[in-house]
A and B are shown apart, each in its own frame.
Chain A
């Protein structure tokens, strides 16, 4: 039923009644009555037309609806009468509901929205685990899983590499992009159909047949203007021609690859020659995606793979101690954001609770002042149910207004997040306001309405007409209502305290992360990434020569202080490398020491600003042919040379020859290094993990680990971002087809690493501020109301000689007592919920006593401040006026 239908039918009824009435009139006239008398007679015969209409409406079954419309109209009139009150209510609601809708839309994007793949519920990620850490699968492992399992329809192997991609046949003007490497099963498991062309065939994963590429829709649009004749065109990837065979829809999310954005180009999985050889079994690090057979559970699949892993471990020593983990793809998507999201959701739920209790208090105060109105309505015959319904309608109208405004606020917040480079938190790329969010907001609004409206509506409707209509009637039920109000305020303070504590802890975490001494000089440092394609830089010699020339050119640029080409830089780790210490043979593979490892040039420590603590730095005299030297960090010394002078000690890179077959991939990397110096510990596993043992060597002395991946570090005297152009020009001058990518200052880089923390702390701080504001309003409102209620009593006290200071003190004490009990409850709440917060904190405990104390003090201070105005007003009451009012 729609209201316009109602209107139409109402008009129809009116016409019917009028035409019958006119007929009656005519008949009366025909009987000989004068027109006037005829009219009267007809009216008389017809009776009360309005009543007929109302009764007919009843027959239509819309009376309920009409009554509600009436109530709504009345409610709107009431709102217009007190716009200030309405504005406060709508604003409080909008803030609370907007915050909830915004956080819910994040939750929706990351947790709730189903994956866009046909068999999303059967997709899992397979990872090999070593000592509890995920290490990825290797090619041979994958092949054995694929042939021996009984649980999967398909298992795909995939990876992503940064490569220089050019859309021209000659390969000029390349850009470094993330290229996905995927076995044909990858797209089959995801159930992806190409928009154009075809997917990889099984034999395209083989050497020599693999020069085909798939591009995604975004890349197609950006580089080929959606030209449908693109199939068969040549794409140059690392100086090699690849034929485009198909266009993929943009549905493969970057997080699947551990990347921040979608990958634009895919080629068949074949990252290096020999990846399928038995010698590559220990070369883990690839992703494996699998489609479960229908009806097979994740646990069963895991058990199945564990069985295969055990049999592999019995034949291949390198597979010993390797476990298998099978994780649904849905879980992968959430990644490490789950605790954060739950925390944020908890925080906004607290906001909503505070807002609810605030609104309940506001409504209660307002309805108390409207008691005479309610009593009048009751005296005029309105039932209690009618009163409750009417009060509810008013709340509902306010709720609808507040929810609408809240939704607008959420839209704004989402736009702000999207504009603020959401790529740093890849899951937020999918952030939108979809129907789930709208539905949630509506439900939150209605729920809030029910929650905060019930008590005031019921309490207010309990009015006794006779009592309230008496002049100046002060209702006796006021005591109960004041108790309820105190509970509300106490609750608000408790919830605000919890919010404040959480926000403060997360802020401290961010502070720790951004201000901690990372062990190197973060300022005035720029970095960028280079990839020297093996076609043109085939030998370690060629790579070294290019890097030396490049650093020579950049070093003389104005503003440049130092420059270094390296494969690692803090706070990032390099790759892990097994080694053996001369004179310390081990007998089992599990006992082989390992370290984070990187190859650098001689300027690395100076450029990065890492001080030496012992020994010497690399020098230009450390060249090919001389004994290779390495520098280790303090953690390395502590773990592997406790109480021994590490300088001059010799280690051998790679797994010990006695434990691993000579011809394996790992076995080939063997080189003796002499430790020349010790560098100060610098963060090398991100910002939150402790410093791990690290070893760096010169790439010109360790050619077999000298790959084409290089990072460029530039230390400057000027603002580092001003150098980007000049540095890129120098690279271009040496090799016009070599792109420099990921150029950013180290400060930006660190900032990106703390993006999630900053997002959290901004959100939580905002929520805490809203919570505090609401709590302050609540305390003020209640105290002001109490003072107003007790005007006479205070007047009498003053008249009887009570000093004004004592009166002010009395009022303040009341507020102080509420604040104190609220703080107590809030502290208990903080302690109870501290565990859920702990995983997001770094450098501060969830039960940090200083934080708890500071937050408590702040809240009590705010409460007392909120009491100040009512207290002053109480002290300034004129006893004469107060008594006369009685």
Chain B
């Protein structure tokens, strides 16, 4: 199962914002780095679709959760558009995290009732 490409586009879309925000906790990053990081951290379980990533980044920026500016990369002699978490974004991350926790716990309780009770 772990080798199969995930088909849960809906799930991914719903949690993409949260994942991006969480990634940015480590520090500013450009789009490619964010995508790579998510992909790598999940052992390629979550394949980053560029078609979702960039619209999501711009959506987050419009909501004021991240800011962006062009900066020179430390390892390459080139400018990238770096995204940075804002205070508002940090709060939003906490909100989404706790919602997500509640959600998974609720789902787990339904799916594996005995395990939960113990």
Q: Which residues of A contact B49 (CB under 8 A)?
A: 47
Chain B: residues with Cβ within 8 Å of the partner, total of 18
Q: Which residues of B contact A207 (CB under 8 A)?
A: none
Cα–Cα distance between A52 and B49 once the two chains are bound (Å):
10
Cβ contacts A to B, 15 pairs, < 8 Å: A16-B30, A16-B54, A16-B80, A16-B81, A17-B54, A19-B81, A22-B78, A23-B76, A24-B32, A52-B54, A56-B54, A56-B58, A58-B55, A59-B59, A60-B62
The answer, yes or no, to whether B79 is at the interface (CB within 8 Å) is yes
Given contacts A16-B81, A60-B62, A61-B62, A23 and B32 within 8 Å (CB-CB): yes
**Contact yes or no, A52 B50, CB < 8 A:** yes
**Contact yes or no, B54 A13, CB < 8 A:** yes
Could you mark each residue 41-75 of chain B with 1 if its beta carbon is under 8 Å from any beta carbon of chain A, else 0?
00000000111101110110010000000000000
Cα–Cα distance between A47 and B53 once the two chains are bound (Å):
12
The answer, yes or no, to whether B28 is at the interface (CB within 8 Å) is no
Q: Which residues of A contact B55 (CB under 8 A)?
A: 52, 55-56, 58-59
Cα–Cα distance between A13 and B55 once the two chains are bound (Å):
10
**Contact yes or no, B80 A20, CB < 8 A:** yes
**Contact yes or no, B51 A16, CB < 8 A:** no
Q: Which residue of A lies closest to B56 (CB)?
A: A59
The answer, yes or no, to whether A45 is at the interface (CB within 8 Å) is yes
The answer, yes or no, to whether A725 is at the interface (CB within 8 Å) is no
Interface of A is mostly: helix
Q: Which residues of B contact A23 (CB under 8 A)?
A: 32, 76, 78, 80
Q: Which residue of B lies closest to A61 (CB)?
A: B62
Cα–Cα distance between A52 and B52 once the two chains are bound (Å):
7
Given contacts A47-B51, A52-B50, A52-B51, A20 and B30 within 8 Å (CB-CB): yes
Cα–Cα distance between A79 and B111 once the two chains are bound (Å):
63
The answer, yes or no, to whether A68 is at the interface (CB within 8 Å) is no
Cα–Cα distance between A46 and B51 once the two chains are bound (Å):
8
Closest 3 CB pairs of A and B: A20-B32, A59-B59, A55-B55
Shortest CB-to-CB span from A261 to chain B, Å, is 60
Cβ 8 A contact of B79, one of A19, A47, A51, A56: A19
Which residues of A676-700 are within 8 A (CB) of B? none
**Contact yes or no, A47 B50, CB < 8 A:** yes
Q: Which residues of A contact B52 (CB under 8 A)?
A: 55
Shortest CB-to-CB span from B2 to chain A, Å, is 21
The answer, yes or no, to whether A48 is at the interface (CB within 8 Å) is yes
Cα–Cα distance between A56 and B50 once the two chains are bound (Å):
11
Q: Which residue of A lies closest to B80 (CB)?
A: A19
B residues near A (Cβ < 8 Å) are 30-32, 49-52, 54-56, 58-59, 62, 76, 78-81
Q: Which residues of A contact B51 (CB under 8 A)?
A: 47-48, 51-52, 55
Shortest CB-to-CB span from A8 to chain B, Å, is 13
Cα–Cα distance between A360 and B56 once the two chains are bound (Å):
45
Shortest CB-to-CB span from B47 to chain A, Å, is 10
Q: Which residues of A contact B54 (CB under 8 A)?
A: 13, 16-17, 52, 55-56
Cα–Cα distance between A323 and B39 once the two chains are bound (Å):
94
Could you mark each residue 15-39 of chain A with 1 if its beta carbon is under 8 Å from any beta carbon of chain B, else 0?
1110110111010000000000000
Q: Which residues of A contact B50 (CB under 8 A)?
A: 45-47, 52
Q: Which residues of A contact B81 (CB under 8 A)?
A: 12, 15-16, 19
Shortest CB-to-CB span from B113 to chain A, Å, is 40
Shortest CB-to-CB span from A519 to chain B, Å, is 82
Shortest CB-to-CB span from A293 to chain B, Å, is 55
Cα–Cα distance between A56 and B58 once the two chains are bound (Å):
7
Given contacts A16-B81, A47-B49, A48-B51, A60 and B32 within 8 Å (CB-CB): no
Shortest CB-to-CB span from A5 to chain B, Å, is 13
A residues near B (Cβ < 8 Å) are 12-13, 15-17, 19-20, 22-24, 26, 45-48, 51-52, 55-56, 58-61
Q: Which residues of B contact A48 (CB under 8 A)?
A: 51
**Contact yes or no, B58 A13, CB < 8 A:** yes
Please indicate which of the listed interface residues B31, B54, B56, B62 has the most CB atoms of chain A within 10 Å of its own CB: B54
Cα–Cα distance between A46 and B79 once the two chains are bound (Å):
19
Q: Which residue of B lies closest to A20 (CB)?
A: B32
Q: Which residues of B contact A22 (CB under 8 A)?
A: 78
Shortest CB-to-CB span from B73 to chain A, Å, is 9
Q: Which residue of B lies closest to A17 (CB)?
A: B54
Q: Which residues of A contact B80 (CB under 8 A)?
A: 16, 19-20, 23
Q: Which residue of A lies closest to B49 (CB)?
A: A47
Cα–Cα distance between A194 and B89 once the two chains are bound (Å):
61
Q: Which residue of B lies closest to A12 (CB)?
A: B81
Given contacts A19-B80, A56-B55, 20 further A-B contacts (CB under 8 A): A13-B54, A15-B81, A16-B30, A16-B31, A16-B54, A16-B80, A17-B54, A19-B30, A19-B78, A19-B79, A20-B30, A20-B32, A23-B80, A55-B54, A55-B55, A56-B54, A58-B55, A59-B55, A59-B58, A59-B59
Q: Which residues of B contact A46 (CB under 8 A)?
A: 50
Cα–Cα distance between A110 and B79 once the two chains are bound (Å):
64
Please indicate which of the listed interface residues A26, A47, A52 has the most CB atoms of chain B within 10 Å of its own CB: A52
Q: Which residues of B contact A55 (CB under 8 A)?
A: 51-52, 54-55
Shortest CB-to-CB span from B23 to chain A, Å, is 15
Cα–Cα distance between A61 and B78 once the two chains are bound (Å):
30
Cα–Cα distance between A58 and B81 once the two chains are bound (Å):
20
Q: Which residue of B lies closest to A26 (CB)?
A: B76
Q: Which residues of B contact A17 (CB under 8 A)?
A: 54
Q: Which residues of B contact A16 (CB under 8 A)?
A: 30-31, 54, 80-81
Shortest CB-to-CB span from A552 to chain B, Å, is 94
Shortest CB-to-CB span from A24 to chain B, Å, is 7
Q: Which residues of A contact B76 (CB under 8 A)?
A: 23, 26
Q: Which residue of B lies closest to A24 (CB)?
A: B32
Q: Which residues of B contact A12 (CB under 8 A)?
A: 81
Cα–Cα distance between A17 and B80 once the two chains are bound (Å):
10
Q: Which residues of A contact B62 (CB under 8 A)?
A: 59-61
Cα–Cα distance between A48 and B49 once the two chains are bound (Å):
10
Q: Which residues of B contact A20 (CB under 8 A)?
A: 30-32, 80
Q: Which residue of B lies closest to A22 (CB)?
A: B78
Cα–Cα distance between A22 and B78 once the two chains are bound (Å):
10
Q: Which residue of B lies closest to A48 (CB)?
A: B51
Cα–Cα distance between A55 and B58 once the two chains are bound (Å):
10
**Contact yes or no, A60 B58, CB < 8 A:** yes
Q: Which residues of A contact B59 (CB under 8 A)?
A: 59
Cα–Cα distance between A13 and B81 once the two chains are bound (Å):
9
Shortest CB-to-CB span from B93 to chain A, Å, is 19
Cα–Cα distance between A51 and B84 once the two chains are bound (Å):
25
Q: Which residue of A lies closest to B78 (CB)?
A: A19
Shortest CB-to-CB span from B65 to chain A, Å, is 13
Cα–Cα distance between A338 and B56 once the two chains are bound (Å):
61
Cα–Cα distance between A48 and B55 once the two chains are bound (Å):
13
Q: Which residues of A contact B79 (CB under 8 A)?
A: 19
Shortest CB-to-CB span from B72 to chain A, Å, is 12
Cα–Cα distance between A56 and B78 once the two chains are bound (Å):
24
Shortest CB-to-CB span from A450 to chain B, Å, is 32
Cα–Cα distance between A844 and B81 once the two chains are bound (Å):
81
Shortest CB-to-CB span from B81 to chain A, Å, is 4
Shortest CB-to-CB span from B114 to chain A, Å, is 43
Cα–Cα distance between A22 and B31 once the two chains are bound (Å):
12
Q: Which residues of B contact A15 (CB under 8 A)?
A: 81
Q: Which residues of A contact B32 (CB under 8 A)?
A: 20, 23-24
Cα–Cα distance between A266 and B42 once the two chains are bound (Å):
92
Cα–Cα distance between A12 and B69 once the two chains are bound (Å):
10
Q: Which residues of B contact A58 (CB under 8 A)?
A: 55
Q: Which residues of A contact B30 (CB under 8 A)?
A: 16, 19-20
Cα–Cα distance between A15 and B76 once the two chains are bound (Å):
16
Cα–Cα distance between A552 and B62 once the two chains are bound (Å):
93
Cα–Cα distance between A59 and B76 once the two chains are bound (Å):
30
Please indicate which of the listed interface residues B51, B62, B78 has the most CB atoms of chain A within 10 Å of its own CB: B51
Cα–Cα distance between A51 and B52 once the two chains are bound (Å):
10
Q: Which residue of B lies closest to A55 (CB)?
A: B55
Shortest CB-to-CB span from B34 to chain A, Å, is 10
Cα–Cα distance between A331 and B56 once the two chains are bound (Å):
62
Cα–Cα distance between A48 and B51 once the two chains are bound (Å):
7
Q: Which residues of A contact B56 (CB under 8 A)?
A: 59
Cα–Cα distance between A52 and B50 once the two chains are bound (Å):
7
